A = this chain, B = another copy of it.
Amino acid sequence: MLTIGQLASYAGVTVRTVRHYHAKGLLPEPERDRSGYRRYGAAAVVELVRIRTLADAGVPLSRVRELLAADDEEFVAAVEDIDRRLRAEIRERQVHRERIAKLAAGDSLALPPEVVAYVDRMRELGFRERLVEIERDSWTLIAAQMPEQVGPWMAMKQAQLEDESLRRLYLDVGELVDCGPDDPRLPVLADRVAAFIEAAADGAEGVEEEHPVSDDLVALLDAAFVECFPGAVRMLELLEERGWTGWTNIRRSTPAPVAPALPADC
């Protein structure tokens, strides 16, 4: 008769594993000798080897119990099922590999490459770091909720960066970092923003009709803007006085709703 250690070593498993299988009901508890030790016959080794054969093939232990008692049909069906699971887990890992490869390639977390290019260009052009960060974070949020919309939007934003007058306006928006609520630069900046939006509102239709952003997301992006800049609240008030409401998706606040304007996108 075998002790548990001998049984385990015949089957190439640990003693703990054998006891685990007893607890799970996979292997029946054998007789005990007078000192309480488990005593096994050779048949137990065969059973244990069968269990390990299935377990080593990636069959979950709960399934092993069924399979040991299954007839051929059930067995084949169960094997197909397990193979499906294994294929799914392999696919999952492959997707994971692609994703971390992209993370290692792009130099920033959770950002599509167009956006990485965009924020790099902002840094080249001398934008305030704080403004670059809030852009990056905003696009992180947008990419999380509507990844396929990022491309068209980015094309527009990149074009805006290369427009000199618009760029100068946006560079000055970066100065909001330093503005307290009573900073004299704020009303001037609000005038310039309002003038630009006004002009743009008359022009061509933007990306925003084809790729609308949900109200929730707009509210979140506005909140991020406000959290980031101390002068942001005052800026929104000043824009309100000039007939505009919001920032990410800026719109006329006059009673009659008009066509939406090109967003400034913080």
Q: Which residues of A contact B (CB under 8 A)?
A: 2, 10-12, 41-43, 45-46, 49-50, 52-54, 56-59, 68, 72, 75-76, 79-80, 82-83, 86-87, 89-90, 93-94, 96-97, 99-101, 103-104, 107, 109-110, 137, 140-141, 144-145, 216-217, 220-221, 223-224, 227
Residues of B within 8 A of A223 (CB): 41-42
Residue of B nearest to A103 (CB): B57
Residues of B within 8 A of A50 (CB): 109-110, 140
- Tell me whether A100 and B145 are in contact (CB under 8 A): no
Residue of B nearest to A111 (CB): B53
Report how far A217 CA is from B42 CA in the complex, Å: 10
SS of A interface (majority):
helix
Q: A72-B107, A90-B90, A93-B58 known; A141 and B99 CB under 8 Å?
A: no
Residue of B nearest to A145 (CB): B10
* CB-contact partner of A101 in B43, B45, B83, under 8 A: B83
What's the nearest-Cβ distance from chain B to residue A233, in Å? 14
